[in-house]
Amino acid sequence: MKRRRLGLNGPEVSAIGLGCMGMSEFYGAGDEQESVATIHRALELGIDFLDTSDVYGPYTNEELVGRAIKDRREKVFLATKFGIVRDPADPKKRGVDGSPAYVRKSAEASLKRLQVETIDLYYQHRVDPKTPIEETVGEMARLVEEGKVRYLGLSEAGPATLERACKVHQITALQTEYSLWSREPEDGLLALCEKLGTGFVAYSPLGRGFLTGAFKSPDDFEPDDFRRNSPRFQGENFQKNLALVEKVKEYAAGVGLTSSQLALAWVLAESENIVPIPGTKRRKYLEENAAAVDAVVPAELVEKLSAEFPLNSVAGERYAPTMMGLLNR
């Protein structure tokens, strides 16, 4: 497994990570035995960068990851997040809390669920508009001083917020959706990360699985799969986006890769400062994704893909309106 450094002075991690969210929620039924086996296989393949959050489940994904790595903690670079608050009466409702008291409360709870003494990378999952970012990051920095956290990150934070945060404490990683069909970070955010010495972690680099070419209809998703309610996976949007995916399949076949591998290879080729974290709960897809780091993709094909997927070429917003409202820009 090839490796990349997170930011200018951050840690070295596997060139791709493993997003663990789908093992517990959002993408249909899970299988804990297979999920744990997938995490163990990732470590065998040299993928040491694991990504979770307290909101996944909620809480159960951190517990699963904790059980999976308990006897192999030294092999893992562990990232988790705080800040998205789910309504106990209606888990579909979301809020955001970045208050210092909530930062500390969340970190302590995550440490217990993960069964670790230190979180390697601690992200604010969404920026709280009610709390100045300086106060949130200030409390996160105190966790670093206390040895409970090693590095700090932000997720879906805009450029101005990132710059303000870096004046309080170095932000080692900024996590934002980035793929062939979510290219918004190219509008200055990727360049700012490099300028500030912040690594860029690309979540959903396979377009929430759509770029794999595995889905032909919204009916392919399980009843409780959140993609059924996602704008890009509905009605006319689905059909328009399917035509784009067919191009990826065609180009991938031409160079002996799967659609997934070509989509990941494109992300990896965009910058050495980017580490994608494709999510999966099955070993066979993990192994397919891992092979993307060794894919040989001609530069002209990378450029052709970029031209085929310009910004705003994809039909539909990334999230439903309520979740779009939580993004910081």
Active site residues: 56
Residues 6 or more apart whose CB falls under 8 angstroms from that of 182 comprise 204, 207, 314, 318
* DSSP 8-state secondary structure symbol assigned to residue 179: B
* DSSP 8-state secondary structure symbol assigned to residue 132: -
For residue 124, the surrounding DSSP H or E stretch is strand 119-124
Spatial CA neighbour of 267 closest among 312, 200, 193: 200
**What DSSP string describes 26-83?**
SSS---HHHHHHHHHHHHHTT--EEE--TTTTTTHHHHHHHHHHTT-GGG-EEEEEE-
- The CA distance from 222 to 149, in Å, is 37
- The CA distance from 134 to 186, in Å, is 25
Q: What is the phi-psi region of residue 213: left when phi exceeds 0, alpha when psi lies from -120 to 50, beta otherwise?
A: left
Q: What tokens were used for 262?
A: 């070509």
For residue 149, the surrounding DSSP H or E stretch is strand 149-155
Contact 137, 169 (CB under 8 A): yes
Phi, psi of 74 (to 5 degrees): -65, -15
Phi, psi of 12 (to 5 degrees): -90, 130
